[in-house]
Structure 1
């Protein structure tokens, strides 16, 4: 019942002007910062590991800024879920669209790391091509079904749970649908390895390299930046990576992590620091969280 009430309020928010929605998101971030001790602690640990040169005051300031950005991304999804296609596109400026156009009709991976604006970029992509992607089930089935419905509201989006494995993903890619893939969260090392992330060994999936090898896919990074105030977003498509895959999954994954690190340095407050990125540790190593 509470979930449905929350969704109803969320639906009402999307009728507001974008400037007002931005203000709600920022305000929610300010409110949640002192109330979210555990997530605050996770963010500070991540920043201490990734930016040891920062002072504690600088890290705290960055975590505060991230809470505002994170809540903006959350509240602004009300537009992505119920706003018109025209309204969504009016908020998004696209750079490097020629790199997106160049992969149409062929196997491709749109690499989309966990920045707060990624859902906005995802909805622009969904308006312009059919895609395949994976999802994780929520604890609440109603919310899982709602997320699936809203992420598939444009064209033909094919979403598969992680439990379904890669087979349907590969099938869709071979039909020319891009695979939207966020590869930068800790999912253990069953299908990955410990790869440096800001110099710290991090459990990282090596599947981008392996999928590209299996399908001949081009890898095109896709990063969405939230602009200041009520200016909206910039979705940037980068050139397809040359010499990828190289035949060395570990070297390819190091390259991927290095690319993500460079983008984080450009807008550190917009990366998803509240995730336990370094949860899985090498055997015998002390846990961080």
Structure 2
């Protein structure tokens, strides 16, 4: 079955983008109806993070998120297996690329929008040196091999895995290896501090953006990936000014505030299917 799914994805890589997106929307529609647990997670996240919306507005947004999520899943077909010229032609850089290509230690802040894999590939093609990525290992060896083939197709992706710890990542960063970092997930109490995120006053957030940039003496460049009808826009923002500061918590508050601003420009594209608020302060009940 796994071999068949990979073969189908490689077949999709040869289709016009409009066809892939239509099939992806169909996949999202199917998940909306079948993945009830994930639909519940999305609804809870939107209720807590976007309380200004009505219930009808949140349900409509949740549905659009599933469509975008399904499209991003099938987009991995051409991102990972289409001819390089095709994939490159669907990725448009927006902003000053010298923020990424200039010499010196670099941390790329890449939030979890549905186009994260597109952004990672684009960063790899843009940065003229090895780039460190932190991945989660897939349980199926055949899926792991296919995913690594796709995520490392730029030729300069240096994979690290969360279960291996951060020592090697820190060593690479100190030697000048750029780090592509996505710290906007809930990885549990042991790795997090509680700071505001959108409508939630106490959201468990990993403060690794501040820590890595401080230890590595690195500039932080946000890269936000936006799905478009033509593919993806890779929005390269200016390096953060006065970051990191001496206050780890305030740096993390600032990170979440920046992220919230980007989320509000394309709320259907943020990764709401993750249990972003599963870790609660001591004594507070779970929200899911």
Once the two structures are TM-superposed, the CA of residue 93 in structure 1 deviates from its matched residue by 1.4
Partner of 1:52: 51
Partner of 2:134: 134
Bigger mean CA deviation after superposition, 239-248 or 191-200? 191-200
Cα distance in 1, alignment partners of residues 117 and 99 from structure 2: 17
Once the two structures are TM-superposed, the CA of residue 168 in structure 1 deviates from its matched residue by 1.7
Partner of 2:183: 183
Give secondary structure in 1 for the equivalent of 2:246: coil
Pairing 1:188-203 to 2, within 5 Å after superposition? 188-200=188-200, 201-203=202-204
CA offset digits 1:13-59 (Å, max 9, x no partner): 11111111111111111122111111110000000001112111111
Gaps of 5+ in 2: none
Pairing 1:74-93 to 2, within 5 Å after superposition? 74-93=73-92
CA offset digits 1:250-289 (Å, max 9, x no partner): 0000000000000000000000111100001111101001
Bigger mean CA deviation after superposition, 68-77 or 166-175? 166-175
Q: Is 1:117 matched with 2:115?
A: yes
What is the CA RMSD across the aligned residues, in angstroms?
1.3
Partner of 2:215: 214
Once the two structures are TM-superposed, the CA of residue 141 in structure 1 deviates from its matched residue by 2.7
Partner of 2:236: 237
Distance 1:109 1:19, change over 3 A: same
Partner of 1:285: 284
TM-score by length of 1: 0.95
Whether the aligned pair in 1 keeps the contact of 2:51 and 2:199 (CA below 8 Å) is: no
Pairing 1:1-150 to 2, within 5 Å after superposition? 2-101=1-100, 103-129=101-127, 130-150=130-150
Once the two structures are TM-superposed, the CA of residue 172 in structure 1 deviates from its matched residue by 2.3
CA offset digits 1:103-152 (Å, max 9, x no partner): 53321111011101121121111122320011112232322232122211
Cα distance in 1, alignment partners of residues 57 and 286 from structure 2: 24
Cα distance in 1, alignment partners of residues 253 and 287 from structure 2: 22
Partner of 1:250: 249
Whether the aligned pair in 1 keeps the contact of 2:50 and 2:199 (CA below 8 Å) is: no
Distance 1:177 1:287, change over 3 A: same
TM-score by length of 2: 0.95
Whether the aligned pair in 2 keeps the contact of 1:99 and 1:239 (CA below 8 Å) is: no
Bigger mean CA deviation after superposition, 34-43 or 165-174? 165-174
Once the two structures are TM-superposed, the CA of residue 175 in structure 1 deviates from its matched residue by 3.3
